[in-house]
Amino acid sequence: SLTANYVRLDQDILSPLAGKKQLMSIKCSALYLSQFRHTAPHLLENGDGIKKAFIIGDVYIHPSAKVHSSAKIGPGVSISANARIGAGARLINCIVLDDVEIKASLHVN
């Protein structure tokens, strides 16, 4: 099911990678995201620039995450469960873990 796919991606792959605190984890995450573009595109966000945040490239956003519509996300970004992304935030090549809040207008790359 779709829910099972989200849990597997979020908990089994992305969180352990981020926990390693190595540049390699970001590269691995980006590789997974690009693979999902071909094997499971429904897991990736397709931003329309109107209702959702502006999405660039391959981006995973957990369904429970709250992302402000003025945020710019991607490429190579994974946002985990219950994360909160503030207005005007700019995220590039990063993994946002569960329950993390990114303040308004903060740039992370």
72-89: per-residue pLDDT in tens?
999 889 898 899 999 999
Of 30, 43, 102, 97, the residue nearest 72 (C-alpha): 102
Query: Model-level pTM?
Result: 0.68
Q: Average pLDDT over the chain, rounded to whole?
A: 76
- Residue 1 reports pLDDT greater than 50: no
**Per-residue confidence band for 107, with pLDDT thresholds at 50, 70 and 90:** confident
Those residues whose C-beta lies under 8 Å from the C-beta of residue 92, and which sit 6 or more positions away, are: 74, 75, 76, 77, 107, 108, 109
pLDDT in tens, 5-33: 554 666 666 666 555 555 556 777 777 77
